[in-house]
Structures are given as structure tokens and as C-alpha cells.
Amino acid sequence: MITNKLEALFNPKGIAILGASSDTGKLGYAVARNLIEGGYPGQVHLVNPKGGALFNRPIYKSVLDVPDPVDLAVVIVPAQAAPQAMRDIGTRGIPHAILTSGGFRETGDKGAVLEEEVLSICRDFHIRLIGPNCIGLLDTHLPLDTTFLPPPPPEPGNIAFLSHSGAFCAAIIDWSRQQGFGFSRLVSLGNQADLSETDLLPVIANDPHTRSIALYLESIPHGERFLETARLITQKTPLVVLKVGRTSSGQKAAASHTGALAGTEAAVDAAFKKAGIQRAITSEELFDWARAFACLPLPSGRNVAILTNAGGPGVIAADALSDQKLCLASLDLQTISALRDHLPPAASSQNPIDMLASASPEDYATCLKLLLADQQVQAVLVIIPPSPVFPTVDIAKILVPLIKQTQKPVIPILMGSTLIQQTFQYFNQHEIPTYSFPERAASALARLADRADFLRAREDSSPFEPHFEEQKLSTILSSIQGKTFDPAFGDRLLEAIGIQTAPVRLAATPQEAEQISIELGFPLVAKIASPDILHKSDVGGVLLNLDSSSAVHAAYNKLVTRAREKQPAARINGITLQKQIHAGQEVILGFVRDAHFGPLVMFGSGGIDVEGLRDISFALAPLTRQEAKDLLQQTWAGRKLAGYRNMPPADETAVIDALVNLSWLATKYPQINECEINPLKVLGKGAIAVDVRIKV
């Protein structure tokens, strides 16, 4: 619904420029120039209270005088004049506006008040606004250029770009010309008083000229809505995001290891992975990857062949593939034999294939055909440094048809500068991205493989929702609403979602501790019970291997004395007793609720050294079983569940079940803010939650 309305931003029938100027030093002149001389096919109406004429067109004194058609206003007026300008736009019935002017929220409190006034007017008149403090938008294929940037505009292309920074847009447009790629659509979002990247992503993705979308984001204030939109888009169109800066999630000091370790960046990484977004770390990566997505097919796997005429670059490429978790393909014997028959004796017919410096364009073509025909090869890197014998452009001319007709990604690596310039241009003319060095090419190829894995996992993942004891959960939660509660409540909660526990009993006196110990049996673990002591081992608040009721009595007194010495102000409820479990591998799992993206699940090495080891991984809830398996494989704690040296295998399935169930608990019951199981003892069969903390 809204997508159709917002399409008018990129294909307006008429545009009014408020603040148009005949002064060539003013931004109002630059916007008029770019629209009129840039070939925009719709109507351009110029507005300025001074009147006059510009580009042989009249300048209207008021936007109320502008004739139809007009469905977009570009506003370049001083910040203080913006509210009245927006009222006039609303009165005229113009549904969309771009406010390029600065002087709003980015300048401080007074500017923020002014921005809120502008936004209020837009809401009253149902105006959808881009900005303020932006450079506008463009569509290279219409063409449409509402920016004030100096000509020429970017080349028409197939990458869309949305940016929170106008200056970054300007720099990238200029840089892209030298890099040999163009844009389909570009939007500078500015302060996002109204429209954000989340609003515009659907209409950008529906553009037939856009094959990939790159975003530069400084914050994601409405994270869950952004992810919901992104997950729909990534089914069809790749998204690459350069997310910079650190945004406070608004969380208070965390009451668990999970909360302490789940920083904002961990949440962003987990959220992007869940949505299928590729997160770039550098500006080069952002566009290296976007170009690959826009122009190359996805590989069916991670096995790569390297074709080169020089040994050194081939070794660099092999290392780069390994760094990116890609593999050197093991060639079929038939392929190796054919390569050996064709190449000189000194050449290498093993992967990487080194054809030697004398390799001709025909050698490149023949070897590439052989590699593409090999079922073990799922992608090819072709390294082309300046040739001492042949013009490298001749290599490009013979390779382009082969690259275009294959369904396997082939990435040329042009190492050099002036000597390979013509070759670079030839590949670009045929929409084949090239990279200057093997590391950049391997990075781009790895992202193609990641996207292929993501799409396959999405197709293969069957819907899964665990069966909870809903009534039991509701009863438990209602009984502890608003509390950080005793571990016994945590046991009841976990049991309701199918996670086995070692029952905990609270003793308020030494005598009660003795009686409970007889009921539970030995050996036992005793822990101080205090809502003010979250990490009990820090105050010596844990005693192990208690094998008699008299030992339990003594343990009670010792734990209470220690706690009062270390934390005199702490409330002491007594001690808890629990059957000691000696066997099993110790892991930690839990979740904390991120303010922007929702519940974030953690898994890793458990015990008292969690924060020191930092062997942890995060994922956004709810988890599929495959996502839970991936979470395990990202940590040593998860990988060694299969067994290591004299350590017997543990029940990986039980851990996966626990992770999935815990993630769905987090999703279904938002009143639970934090939950942590540390440790979960993973046995040869089954797993037992030894210690649980839950904060509601």
C-alpha cells in the first residue's frame, strides 16, 4: 500500500523547488540545474518569493501558484522558514517533500524543537518527508536528480544506495566513476524525521533496475521493524550494510553474564545474520560486495579454482580463500590431465593453476573452460596481471563470453594500474566486476557463498515451535511478576519448557538445611541465597561435596558469615541446597532482551570463567534447529560436545533442544527480561540445568 505511494518519490510527474535561485552560488540554483539540464522528463516548477526567471522558466512567488502536475516538493530554505514552507506545500496538496536544509536536530535542542514542528505539520497534511539535513535522491534511469551535487551525476547502474550521511553519498558518487560502476537509485536520508531506510527499502527493492542494495547506517532506532522488512527483501534482493558507530541499547547494568556480554554490536551482528544481511566493515567492502551481488551468480558451494599466469598472486589468492572460509577445489583427474596436455611442462596443472607468464588469451580461455566443466569447481578466480607478451584487453575479450554464459561465478582480478586500464574498462562495459587484489575478490566471493547458504537454509528450514505447558508457564510467571526471584522458580519455569533441572531447595535456618539435606541425599552443593549477590562465587558463596547433614549445618553458617563479611548490606535469605552433579560438560546458555532487536540468545563455555574466556556466540530469537546448530559450531564449547581427546561425546541434541526452547520462551513471553543457565551440564544422554537466573 504505502510502497505504491512512495514510488512517486522516484517517478514524480511534477516537482516544485522551493528556494530556487538564479544565483549560481546557491543550492537552489544547483537543484534546478540538475533537474532541468539532467533530463528529468516531468514538469519542474521554480518557487521563490522574489519571482523572476531561471532556465527560461518563470519563478513563482508561492508554491500555491504552481500549476499541476506536482507531487514532489524539494525545499531549500533557511531552517526557520521551513515550517511555513511545509504548510504551503500541504495547502497546495503536494504529498511528498524533500527538506534538504540543515539547522534541525543535528544542531541541538532548539533545532530538535524546530524539526518536531516541521514533522507535526507534515502529519497534519499527510506529507511524507525525506530529511531534513540531506542532499535528496536520484534515479539514474528515469533520469531524476533532486540533489545539489555538481555534475555529472552517477552512471546508470544496478546498485541502489541509501545513506544516513549526505557527505558520504557525494564522495561515493565521485568515487564510483573511477571504480567503474553506477547506481540505479540513491537516497540521502538525513535526520529521518519521517521516512527512514525501513520505509524506503520496499520501493527500492521493487525497482526493476536494482539488483542489490547498499546501506550506510549510523543507527537503527526501530530495529525489529527494520529486520522484519529486511527479511522479506533478502528473499529476492541482497542487502549489504555498513553499520557504523555504537548506539546505546538503553539497557541498565545487566544481572547476568549474558547481559554483560551482549553488547550492541553483538545484537547488530546477530540481527543482520537472522535477516540475511551482509554486514560490511569498510566502505570498500560495502561496494565490493554490492557489485558482486548485482552482477554475479551465486555459487553452489565453497570450492574455488584459481587461474593465474604468476605463482605469487596464486599463493596470495589461496591464502585469501582460506581466510574467508573458502576452499581450494580438488580438481578431477580428467581436468588435471587436460590442463597438463595443454600447458607447458613447467606450468602447474594443480590448483592454483599457474599457466606461466607467457600465457596467451587462448590459454586463459581453454583453461577456464576446463575448470568450469569440472563438477568439483563451484567458482573461479582469474588473476590477470600485466602480460609481458599479450595485451591484457585481449584476455578480457576472449573471457567475457565464457563468464557471461556460465552459472558459476567467475571473478577477474586485475593486478596493476595504467597497464590494465583498458582491460578494466572492457570488463566494466560488460557488467563484470573486477578487483585489484585477490583479498578483495575472495571477500566478495565469500559473501556470495554466504548468501547462497542463507537462501538454502531458508528453503530447508521447516517451521518449528515447541510445545510449552502454557497454563503452567502462565501460573509461574504470574506468581513472580516484577521480581528477580529465587532459583526454585527458575527450576519450575525450565521444567515447563522441557529443560531438566537439578531441583533447588531453600533453607532459612541451619536446622532446616539439615532436614532438606536428608531428603535430597548426598553429595550436595550449598550456595548463599541473596537477591543482592548475583555471582555467588565472587563472595565465596558456594561450597561443594557436602556429604553429611552435619557438613550442611556447618556450610550454612560458613556461607552466611562469608556473605555478611563481603557484602554487609546484602539481604540474606539463607542458603540453597542442590544435588551435586559431577559428570558432564559445562556450557552456558541464556537470553537478554535488546532494546532495538528483541531477545538475543547466547551460547558458550560455562562455569565461572565465562566473561574471561569469552567463548560465546549470539543469535536472535526465535531459533530454528539449524540456527541452534550453527550457534554451537561457532564456539569451542559447542564443537567439543562431539568429544575431544579423552573427553567423551556429550548430547548435542539436548543442547539444541534447550536452545530452541529457551529462544521461543524469550519470544513468547516478553515479560521475561533476562534468563541464564550456567552451567548446563551436558551428559552422555540428556542435559541438566544446574543454576538458573531469571529476571522478569
The DSSP-derived string for 255-303 is: SSHHHHH--HHHHHHHHHHHHT-EEESSHHHHHHHHHHHHHSPPPSSSE
CATH number of 503-579: 3.30.1490.20
For residue 481, the model assigns a pLDDT of 54
Residue 366 CA to residue 313 CA, distance in Å, equals: 20
The secondary structure element, H or E, covering residue 102 is none
> 6-42 burial string, b = 16+ CB within 10 Å, else e?
beebbbbebbbbbbbbbeeebbbbbbbbbbbebebeb
For residue 210, the model assigns a pLDDT of 98
Q: Which 3 state secondary structure label does DSSP give 558? A: helix
**Average pLDDT of the chain to the nearest whole number:** 92
Residue 205 CA to residue 554 CA, distance in Å, equals: 69
**Residues 444-465: what's their mean pLDDT?**
86
Whether cis (ω within 30° of 0) applies to the bond prior to 313 is no
Over the Cα atoms of the chain, what is R_g? 32
pLDDT higher than threshold 50 for residue 629: yes
Lowest mean pLDDT among 238-252, 319-333, 580-594: 238-252
146-155 residue pLDDT tens: 999 999 999 9
For residue 609, the model assigns a pLDDT of 66
**Residues 439-464: what's their mean pLDDT?**
89
Q: What angle do helix axes 438-460 and 311-323 make, rounded to 10 degrees? A: 40
166-213 residue pLDDT tens: 999 999 999 999 899 999 999 999 999 999 999 999 999 999 999 999
357-397 residue pLDDT tens: 999 999 999 999 999 999 999 999 999 999 999 999 999 99
For residue 464, the model assigns a pLDDT of 61
Confidence of residue 472 (pLDDT cuts 50, 70, 90): confident
3-state helix/strand/coil string of 50-89: CCCEECCEEEECCHHHCCCCCCEEEECCCHHHHHHHHHHH
Would you give the end-to-end CA distance of the chain in angstroms?
Answer: 38
Domains in the chain: boundaries = 2-210, 304-429, 503-579, 585-695
For residue 301, the model assigns a pLDDT of 97
pLDDT higher than threshold 60 for residue 482: no
pLDDT higher than threshold 70 for residue 286: yes
Whether cis (ω within 30° of 0) applies to the bond prior to 156 is no
The secondary structure element, H or E, covering residue 153 is none
pLDDT higher than threshold 80 for residue 255: no
For residue 111, the model assigns a pLDDT of 95
233 with 205: CB under 8 angstroms?
yes
Residue 236 C-alpha cell reads as 529476492
For residue 4, the model assigns a pLDDT of 59
Q: Which 3 state secondary structure label does DSSP give 619? A: strand
**Residues 607-624: what's their mean pLDDT?**
84
The class of domain 304-429 in CATH terms is alpha beta
Residue 39 C-alpha cell reads as 533530463
pLDDT higher than threshold 90 for residue 440: yes
Angle at alpha carbon of residue 504, lines to 501 and 506, rounded to 5°: 165
65-110 residue pLDDT tens: 999 999 999 999 999 999 999 999 999 999 999 999 999 999 999 9
Confidence of residue 463 (pLDDT cuts 50, 70, 90): low
Other residues' Cβ atoms within 10 Å of the Cβ of residue 93: 13
311 with 350: CB under 8 angstroms?
no
Residue 260 CA to residue 268 CA, distance in Å, equals: 16
Residue 157 C-alpha cell reads as 547502474
For residue 2, the model assigns a pLDDT of 37
For residue 658, the model assigns a pLDDT of 95
Residue 42 CA to residue 13 CA, distance in Å, equals: 5
Fold of 585-695: D-amino Acid Aminotransferase; Chain A, domain 1 (3.30.470)
Q: Which one is predicted more confidently, 477 or 300?
A: 300
Confidence of residue 249 (pLDDT cuts 50, 70, 90): very low
pLDDT higher than threshold 90 for residue 55: yes
Give the rounded percent of residues in the chain with a pLDDT score beyond 70: 94
- The two domains 503-579 and 585-695 share their CATH topology (first three levels equal): no
For residue 155, the model assigns a pLDDT of 95
661 with 498: CB under 8 angstroms?
yes
660-670 residue pLDDT tens: 999 999 998 88
**Residues 579-603: what's their mean pLDDT?**
91
CATH 3.40.50.720 fits 2-210, yes or no: yes
523-542 residue pLDDT tens: 999 999 998 887 788 899 99
For residue 264, the model assigns a pLDDT of 73
DSSP-assigned beta bridge partners for residue 280: 242
Confidence of residue 316 (pLDDT cuts 50, 70, 90): very high
354 with 347: CB under 8 angstroms?
yes
Confidence of residue 555 (pLDDT cuts 50, 70, 90): very high
